[in-house]
């Protein structure tokens, strides 16, 4: 693991400075007086913790743990974080792999993925990004809904007064408490059943109203459907990789909060605090603690179950995700037609690659002769099946576009692609009314053997930025990137963009190909078929 010194300093120096200032104040002028712990105007505040608050607090914790663990698993599939959108090797600000990208041989992004202990990651081990994403998105949906219920009820009742500061006095008051904590002088606590101390209130406010929204907003900044439609969105944080880094940093902040929060709960009267948030009473019986431990055990069991399902029933998880997540993602993201373009200065100096080069004699022979004997076979449910040479394809309509590529693993890159808009081919072959999907077969094999293929809906095939590309950055498509022909579908993740295309088939439904999940990675790595985020 390696982190850039500058970034490390940037991240920790605010904490160090604050703690140093606290010590300095204590040493020079002594501990600041604490604000009165009982303020008459607060007496009217909500007392205690209603059941909905205790329930959403617990549900939040459960899904937060699932989100963190599956998120770390996704990160380990491309264990590098960057501030630049190109993901240029050696420019990472954080690297969670000992490996420097070799310069002398092909190093695919898939090779680069790392093992993560199943104690930390969900589901753990190496290259389990497909399953990790299902758990991440399923958890994200429930977490967001739960958060929405919490915030609605917060403002629907008087409970918001606990969390939302109504005067700037909160800042000096919180600072006074901070000086006490930072110099290890535990201050007398107000009865948090009635109200929180100023630092506590400010911290909770920041977690609920800043951290959580940041987590929610930075997530979609990684979606190809969104970023390649609304180019301004990833520009809010700066670019897509800054969005990804921010998503990670917010996770880090949640972990720091979780540790500090649990510590404070323990040292400021564990039994009473547990009763507050578990059973809603203000006494020191042990019941809250016992039920809390039971709640924790349930979280552990749910996590164990999630592992078991990921390893033993992956198809079930994939289909559950398809039933629950896919409809939401298609409502949120499928209407966007990709159109974002970049300029030539934006082109990435290095473009990560994925996939296994074809090894069959058919492709080798074609490649040896510069693909002059290549024929793209387009068949299936069409009125006019065709076989086209590269020259035929070049003579048809040509479009070039400079677009941002998103791999499911997390890396991105900008390149210029030139080729035939797929919609022109669709027009040429005239699909029959029953044709709903288009399958692309590769000369290359998938990671576990067998022909690589993937499918698109006819709708995605007709998007203006869906190309059969034979050029990359104004040159013939390099072998590594899919020569002689590859797909570009800019509202989708990279795994949908079949390289080394051999044939195209129009079919009624992708259910009839391979194992019926829509593509090689969907069949074998349990990727979600809908690849718009």
Ligand X SMILES: Nc1nc2c(c(=O)[nH]1)N[C@H]1C(S)=C(S)[C@@H](COP(=O)(O)O)O[C@H]1N2
Applying CB under 6 A, the span of 21-29, 366-374, 385-393, 498-506 interacting with ligand X comes to: 498-506
Q: Quick one: CA dihedral 4, 10, 14, 17, positive or negative?
A: positive
Q: Which residues pair with 301 in a beta bridge?
A: none
Q: If you search the block for the tokens 């989100």, which residue do you land on?
A: 67
Asked whether the beta carbons of 489 and 463 are under 8 A apart, the reply is yes
Q: Is 526 in the site for ligand X (CB under 6 A)?
A: no
Backbone angles phi, psi at 283, to 5 degrees: -145, -175
Closest to ligand X by CB, 67 vs 353, is: 353
Task: Dig out the tokens for 178 from the structure.
Answer: 């901070």
Q: In this chain, which of 407, 425, 461, 504 binds Mo ion, going by CB under 5 A?
A: 407
Q: Is 494 in the site for ligand X (CB under 6 A)?
A: yes
Per-residue binder mask for ligand X (CB under 6 A), 376-415, x = binder: -------------------------------x--------
The rounded distance, in Å, linking the Cα atoms of 490 and 205 is 38
Per-residue binder mask for ligand X (CB under 6 A), 436-465, x = binder: ------x-x-------x-------------
Closest to Mo ion by CB, 357 vs 408, is: 408
Q: How many CB atoms lie within 10 A of CB 1?
A: 8
Q: How many CB atoms lie within 10 A of CB 305?
A: 10
Applying CB under 5 A, the span of 5-13, 68-76, 279-287, 353-361 interacting with Mo ion comes to: 353-361
Shortest gap between Cβ of 511 and Mo ion (angstroms)? 23
* Interacting residues with ligand X between 96 and 125 (CB under 6 A): none
Residues in the chain: 533
Applying CB under 5 A, the span of 365-373, 399-407, 453-461, 467-475 interacting with Mo ion comes to: 399-407
Q: Is 481 in the site for ligand X (CB under 6 A)?
A: yes
Q: 446 in helix, strand or coil? A: coil
Q: In this chain, which of 177, 248, 495, 526 binds ligand X, going by CB under 6 A?
A: 495
Q: Is 355 in the site for ligand X (CB under 6 A)?
A: yes
Applying CB under 6 A, the span of 28-36, 210-218, 351-359, 393-401 interacting with ligand X comes to: 351-359
Q: In this chain, which of 325, 499, 519, 525 binds ligand X, going by CB under 6 A?
A: 499
Q: In this chain, which of 175, 417, 453, 495 binds Mo ion, going by CB under 5 A?
A: 495
Pairing status of strand 399-406 against strand 376-380: unpaired
Q: If you search the block for the tokens 């088939």, which residue do you land on?
A: 505
Q: Quick one: CA dihedral 240, 242, 243, 247, positive or negative?
A: positive
Say how many residues touch ligand X, by CB under 6 A: 17
Per-residue binder mask for ligand X (CB under 6 A), 64-103, x = binder: ----------------------------------------
Shortest gap between Cβ of 424 and Mo ion (angstroms)? 26
Tell me how many degrees the CA angle 484-488-491 measures, rounded to the nearest 5: 170
Contacts of 87 (CB under 8 A, 6+ apart): 78, 80, 241, 348, 350, 352, 411, 412, 413
Closest to Mo ion by CB, 53 vs 75, is: 75
Largest pairwise CA distance in the chain: 88
Q: Which residues pair with 382 in a beta bridge?
A: 431
Closest to ligand X by CB, 92 vs 522, is: 522
The rounded distance, in Å, linking the Cα atoms of 405 and 415 is 8
Closest to Mo ion by CB, 173 vs 517, is: 517
* 481 interface partner picked from ligand X, Mo ion, none, CB below 5 to 8 A per type: ligand X
The rounded distance, in Å, linking the Cα atoms of 234 and 346 is 15
- Nearest CA to 386 out of 333, 350, 424 is that of 424
Q: Quick one: CA dihedral 513, 518, 520, 526, positive or negative?
A: negative
* 175 interface partner picked from Mo ion, ligand X, none, CB below 5 to 8 A per type: none
Q: Is 494 in the site for Mo ion (CB under 5 A)?
A: yes
Shortest gap between Cβ of 203 and ligand X (angstroms)? 40
- Residues near ligand X (CB under 6 A) are 351-355, 407, 442, 444, 452, 481-482, 494-495, 497-500
List residues binding Mo ion (CB under 5 A): 354, 407-408, 494-495
């Amino acid at each position: 693991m390696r982190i850039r010194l500058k970034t490390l300093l940037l991240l920790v120096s605010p904490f160090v400075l604050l703690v140093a200032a606290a010590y300095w104040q204590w040493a020079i002028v002594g501990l600041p007086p604490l604000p009165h712990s009982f303020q008459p105007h607060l007496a009217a505040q909500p007392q205690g913790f209603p059941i909905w608050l205790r329930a959403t607090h617990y549900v939040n914790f459960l899904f937060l743990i699932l989100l963190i663990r599956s998120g770390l698993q996704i990160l380990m599939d491309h264990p590098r974080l960057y501030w630049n959108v190109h993901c240029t090797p050696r420019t990472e600000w954080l690297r969670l792999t000992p490996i420097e990208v070799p310069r002398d041989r092909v190093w695919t992004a898939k090779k680069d993925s790392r093992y993560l202990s199943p104690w930390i990651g969900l589901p753990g081990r190496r290259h389990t990004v497909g399953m990790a994403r299902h758990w991440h998105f399923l958890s994200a949906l429930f977490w967001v809904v739960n958060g929405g219920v919490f915030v609605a009820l917060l403002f629907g009742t008087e409970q918001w007064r606990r969390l939302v500061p109504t005067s700037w006095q909160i800042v000096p008051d919180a600072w006074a408490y901070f000086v006490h904590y930072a110099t290890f002088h535990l201050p007398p606590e107000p009865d948090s059943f009635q109200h929180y101390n100023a630092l506590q209130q400010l911290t909770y406010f920041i977690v609920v109203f800043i951290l959580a929204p940041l987590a929610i907003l930075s997530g979609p900044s990684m979606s190809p459907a969104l970023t390649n439609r609304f180019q301004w969105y990833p520009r809010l944080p700066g670019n897509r990789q800054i969005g990804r880094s921010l998503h990670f940093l917010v996770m880090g902040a949640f972990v720091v909060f979780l540790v500090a929060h649990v510590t404070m709960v323990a040292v400021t009267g564990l039994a009473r605090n547990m009763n507050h948030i578990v059973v809603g009473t203000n006494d020191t019986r042990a019941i809250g603690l016992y039920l809390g431990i039971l709640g924790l055990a349930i979280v552990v069991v749910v996590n164990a179950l999630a592992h078991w399902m990921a390893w033993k029933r992956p198809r079930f998880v994939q289909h559950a995700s398809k039933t629950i997540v896919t409809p939401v993602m298609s409502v949120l993201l499928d209407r966007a037609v990709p159109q974002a373009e970049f300029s030539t200065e934006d082109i990435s100096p290095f473009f990560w690659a994925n996939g296994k080069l074809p090894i069959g004699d058919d492709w080798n022979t074609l490649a040896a002769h510069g693909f002059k004997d290549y024929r793209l076979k387009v068949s299936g449910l069409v009125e006019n099946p065709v076989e086209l040479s590269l020259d035929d394809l070049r003579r048809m309509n040509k479009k070039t576009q400079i677009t941002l590529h998103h791999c499911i693993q997390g890396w991105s890159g900008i390149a210029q692609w030139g080729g035939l808009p797929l919609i022109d081919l669709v027009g040429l072959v005239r699909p029959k009314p029953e044709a709903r999907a288009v399958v692309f077969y590769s000369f290359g094999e998938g990671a576990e053997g067998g022909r690589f293929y993937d499918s698109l809906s006819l709708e995605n095939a007709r998007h203006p930025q869906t190309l059969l590309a034979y050029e990359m950055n104004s040159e013939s498509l390099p072998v590594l990137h899919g020569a002689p022909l590859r797909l570009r579908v800019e509202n989708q993740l990279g795994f949908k963009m079949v390289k080394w295309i051999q044939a195209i088939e129009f079919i009624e439904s992708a259910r009839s190909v391979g194992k019926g999940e829509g593509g090689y990675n969907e069949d074998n790595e349990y990727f979600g078929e809908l690849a718009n985020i």
